[in-house]
Chains A and B, each alone.
Chain A
Amino acid sequence: MNRYLPLAITALAILAMATLFLVIAPGMQIGAQGPSPGLKPYTEAEARGRDVYVSMGCLYCHSQQPRSIAQAPDAERGWGRASVAGDYAYDAPHQLGTMRTGPDLMDIGDRLPSQGWQLTHLYQPRAISSWSIMPAYPFLFEHKDEPGPGDVVVHLPAPYAPETGVIVAKQDALDLVAYLQGMKRQYAPPTDGLRDDGYALIAAQQQKQTDAAKASN
C-alpha cells in the first residue's frame, strides 16, 4: 500500500460497518421493543441507591443477567429467570456485568428481601458468611453512642459489634439497600423478549437428533 487516503477511507468504512452491525442495528431492534410489560421505573430512593452501586463498582464482581436453563443452572440457584432486553429499559448506565466473583444480583430483592440482612452484610460480609471475600463498606455507616430518632441500627454479632454504642446506616447505605430490595423481576417475561437463544436452539437441535436416532432404531 502506497497511498494514505484510500487506506484511511477503507479503514473508517470498515469501522462504520462494524458500528452499524454492533450498535445501530441492535439498538433499533431493542428500542422497538420497549420496556417489558410489568417493569416499573426506579423510585427516587432506588435510583439514588443505584448511583451508589455504580460508584462503588459493584459491577466488577456481580453480574445482572441470569442465564437460560438451557445453558447454566442460574435459575436453580434462585437467581431468577433468564432476563430479556426489555428488563433493562430504565438502566443507564447498564450494569450487566461480566464477572461472578459474587453471585448474580438481578433478583436479589426476591432472594434476600430483608433490609436488616443487607445492612449487616454491607457493613461486614464476614459477619454473615465467614468465607466471603466481598469488601466491607464501613464508611457507609456511622458509629453513634445512642441511635437518634429515625436511625436504622445495624445488627451485628459479637466479634463485629462495637464495644460501646451502635452502628447506624447512613443515607447511602439505606438507598443502596432500597435498590437491592427493588431488584426483582416477578412479572412474566414478554413472549417475544430479546435474548441470546443460541443455547436453547442448540439443545433443541440435539434433542431432535436424539429423537431421530431413537426412531430409526
Chain B
Amino acid sequence: MQITETLGLLLALSFIISLLALTILIWAIANKQVHTPDADDARTIFTPGEGAEIDEPNKPHHFDTERSGIDRVSAGPVMWLIAAAVFWLIFGSLHGLAASLELHLPDLMSGSAQMTFGRMRTVHLNSVAYGWASQAGLAAVFWIIPRIFHTRLRLVGLVKLGFVLWNIGVAAGVMAIANGWTDGLEWLEIPWQIDIVLALGAACFVAPLIATAKHREVHHIYVSGWYFLAAILWFPVLFIVANIPGVHHGVEQATMNWWYAHNVLGLWLTPLGVGTAYYFIPKIIGKPIYSYAVSLVGFWALALFYSQVGIHHLIGGPVPTWLVTLSVVHSVMMFVPVIAVAINQHVTVARNLWALKESMPLRFIWFGALSYTAASFQGSIEALRSVNTITHFTHYTVGHAHLGAYAFVSLVLMGAIYQIVPRATGKYFPFPRLIAWHFWLNVIGFAVYFLSLTIGGVLQGLAQLDATKPFADSVILLKPYLEGRSLGGGLMTLGHVLLAINLIALGFTKKTRETETDNMVAAE
C-alpha cells in the first residue's frame, strides 16, 4: 500500500505544480512582474504604418516589399517542404480513403498483404502525420520565423539536408509498414532503424531556427515564435525517447506510447497549427491580435496541461488508477489554454469579418482555428470517465482525431500554403476559383465525415455496453456510418487534388509578380 500512497502523493504534486505555476504566471502578469506582451509587441509583425488593409497578392503589405530579401532566402526550402507535404497529403489521403472503403467493402482489396486494412490505415496515418502535417508545419515555421525576427533564415543548407533526410525517412517508413515491418505501436509504427534517419532529419531543423532567433533584429519574440521554438525542441526529445529500442515493454510501453502519441499532437502538431494561425490571422487582416497579453497564459498552460493528458487513452485499462486520474484532470484543465487562444484569435476575426470574404487563405485558417477550439473542448469532455466509457473503443475517437489533426491543423496549414506560395514564388495561383472549391469540398466533406463517425461511434459504444445485444449488432449498425465516412473522405481527398492541381499549374506558369525589388507594383 505504501507505494500507492507515494504515487497518490505524486499525482497531487503534479497537479499542484501545474496549478501553482499557472497562478504565479497570472499573478506576475497582473502585477507586471514580468514583461507582459502588449499591443506594441503584437505589432512587431507589421512594419510602421502598415495595417488595416488586407494582405493579398494584389495589394501586398509593405513588409513584402521592404523586407523581400528575408523571404527570398527562405523561399527555396519552404517551397520544397510544401511540395513534398502536398505529395504526402495526396498519398496519405488515398490510403485513408482506401482503408475507409475496406471497412464496409471488406473483400474489395483482400488479395495482398500490402493492401490489407491494418496496413493501409497505418500507411495513411504515418504519411499524413509525418509526411504532410509535419512538413507543411515546418514550411510555415521556416517562412514565419525569419519574418517575425526581421532577419533572414540562417543555416539554409542544414534545412535542405533535413528535408532530404526527413523525406527518405518517411518514404522508407511507409514502405516498411506496407510490407509488414513495423514497431507495432500506434503513432510509432515506423521501425526504429528508419527512425534514426528521421531523428537526424529533425535535428537538422533545430539549429537553423535557433541561429535565426539569435540573429533577430527585434527585441520581442512574437507569440508564434514561442510555439515554434518550443515545439522544435519538444519533438526531437519525444521522438527519440519513444523510439529507443529494447527499453519499453508491456504496460509500461503502453503508457510511454500514449505519452508520445498525445504529445506529438499536443506539443508538435498543435503548436505548429496554433503558431501559424497566430501569425497569419492578424497579418492577413492587417490588425494586431486582440488582447495579446492573454497569449502568454495560453502558451504556458498548453505546455503544463497538454503534456500530461496522454493516459486518457488508457481509461479503464490495466494501468494504475492514479495515472489515469492524472490525465483526466489535466485533460479538463485544457479548457484554460484553449479559451485563451480562442479569445486572441476568434475576437480578432470576429471584429474583421469582412476579411473572410476577401481572403481565401484566411477562410481556411479561420475554420482551422475554430476547429481547434471545438476539438479541444470535445477532447476535454471525452476524457471524463462517464463519457469515455461509451466512446473509448469506438469510431467516435477517430472522428475526434480528425477534428484535431485535420479540421484544425491541416486546414490551418492549407491556408498557410495558399498564403505563402504566391509570396515565395512571385506567381499567382492560376485557378483561383479552385481554391474556393477546395475549401468547400473540405468543409462539407469533413462535416459528413465527422457527423458519421460521431453519431455512429456513440451508437456503436452504446450497443457494446448493452449486454443483451450480441456484438454483431454494434458492427451491423455501424455500416451506414462507415459508408458516410467514405463519402466525406472522398470529398476531402478531391479537395486535396485541387490544391495539387493549382500548385503544379503554378509551377508551369511564368512569373507574374516581382518580389525581388523594393519598388514592387501591384500586378493589376
Residues of A whose CB lies within 8 Å of any CB of B are 1-4, 7-8, 10-12, 14-15, 17-19, 21-23, 25-27, 29-32, 54-61, 63, 65, 67-68, 71-73, 76-77, 82-85, 87-103, 125-126, 129, 131-139, 193-199, 201-202
B319 near A15 with CB under 8 A, answer no
Say whether, besides A21-B10, A76-B467, A93 and B221 are in contact (CB < 8 Å).
Answer: no
A7 near B249 with CB under 8 A, answer no
Of all chain B residues, which has the CB nearest A139? B113
Bound form: Cα–Cα A190–B164 in Å: 51
Bound form: Cα–Cα A12–B255 in Å: 20
Add 8 more A-B contacts to A23-B241, A101-B475, A194-B318 (CB < 8 A): A26-B252, A32-B3, A85-B250, A88-B250, A89-B249, A99-B393, A196-B321, A199-B316
Within 8 A of A (CB), among B479-516: 479, 482
B213: Cβ under 8 A from any A Cβ: yes
Q: B219 to chain A: which residues have CB within 8 Å? A: 2
B360: Cβ under 8 A from any A Cβ: no
Bound form: Cα–Cα A90–B253 in Å: 11
Say whether, besides A60-B121, A93-B185, A136 and B112 are in contact (CB < 8 Å).
Answer: no
Say whether, besides A99-B393, A139-B112, A85 and B102 are in contact (CB < 8 Å).
Answer: no
Shortest CB–CB separation between residue A106 and chain B, in angstroms?
10
A135 near B102 with CB under 8 A, answer yes
Bound form: Cα–Cα A77–B469 in Å: 10
B234 near A11 with CB under 8 A, answer yes
15 CB < 8 A contacts A-B = A2-B221, A4-B214, A7-B221, A8-B230, A11-B303, A12-B234, A22-B255, A26-B251, A30-B251, A54-B184, A57-B119, A88-B251, A92-B248, A101-B478, A194-B251
B106 near A197 with CB under 8 A, answer no
Say whether, besides A15-B237, A57-B122, A194-B319, A92 and B472 are in contact (CB < 8 Å).
Answer: no
A18 near B307 with CB under 8 A, answer yes
B359: Cβ under 8 A from any A Cβ: no
What 4 A-B pairs have minimum CB-CB distances, sorted nearest first? A57-B118, A93-B184, A18-B307, A73-B467
Of all chain B residues, which has the CB nearest A196? B324
Chain B: interface secondary structure? helix
User: Which residue from B37, B238, B323, B478 sits with its C-beta under 8 Å from A1?
Assistant: B37
Q: Could you give, for residues 243-274 of chain B, a 1 whenever the CB lies within 8 Å of some chain A CB and a 0 otherwise?
A: 00000111111111111000100010000000
Q: A72 to chain B: which residues have CB within 8 Å? A: 316, 389, 464-465
B365: Cβ under 8 A from any A Cβ: no
Bound form: Cα–Cα A197–B35 in Å: 45
User: Which residue from A21, A61, A89, A136 sits with its C-beta under 8 Å from B107?
Assistant: A136
Say whether, besides A1-B37, A98-B186, A196-B317, A27 and B255 are in contact (CB < 8 Å).
Answer: yes
Within 8 A of A (CB), among B317-351: 317-321, 323-327
Bound form: Cα–Cα A56–B178 in Å: 9
Residues of B whose CB lies within 8 Å of any CB of A are 3, 7, 10-11, 14, 17, 35, 37, 102-104, 106-107, 110-113, 116-119, 121-122, 180-186, 210, 213-214, 219-221, 226, 229-230, 233-234, 237-238, 241, 248-259, 263, 267, 296, 300, 303-304, 307-308, 310-311, 313-321, 323-327, 385, 389, 392-395, 397-398, 464-467, 471-472, 474-476, 478-479, 482
Q: B475 to chain A: which residues have CB within 8 Å? A: 101-102, 131-133
Of all chain B residues, which has the CB nearest A104? B393
B117 near A100 with CB under 8 A, answer no
Say whether, besides A7-B230, A25-B7, A100-B393, A56 and B118 are in contact (CB < 8 Å).
Answer: yes
Q: B303 to chain A: which residues have CB within 8 Å? A: 10-11, 14-15
Say whether, besides A18-B263, A194-B320, A71 and B233 are in contact (CB < 8 Å).
Answer: no
Bound form: Cα–Cα A136–B398 in Å: 23
Bound form: Cα–Cα A21–B14 in Å: 8
Q: A29 to chain B: which residues have CB within 8 Å? A: 3, 7, 320
A199 near B385 with CB under 8 A, answer yes
A202 near B14 with CB under 8 A, answer no
Say whether, besides A18-B307, A27-B256, A92-B248, A87 and B118 are in contact (CB < 8 Å).
Answer: no
Say whether, besides A7-B230, A21-B14, A94-B251, A198 and B321 are in contact (CB < 8 Å).
Answer: yes
Shortest CB–CB separation between residue B310 and chain A, in angstroms?
6
User: Which residue from B259, B313, B395 sits with its C-beta under 8 Å from A19?
Assistant: B259
Of all chain B residues, which has the CB nearest A3? B221
Q: B254 to chain A: which residues have CB within 8 Å? A: 88, 94, 96
Of all chain A residues, which has the CB nearest B1? A192
Q: A3 to chain B: which residues have CB within 8 Å? A: 221
User: Which residue from B304, B317, B474 sits with its C-beta under 8 Å from A65?
Assistant: B317
Shortest CB–CB separation between residue A18 and chain B, in angstroms?
4
Bound form: Cα–Cα A162–B432 in Å: 55
Q: B118 to chain A: which residues have CB within 8 Å? A: 56-61, 135
Bound form: Cα–Cα A67–B315 in Å: 9
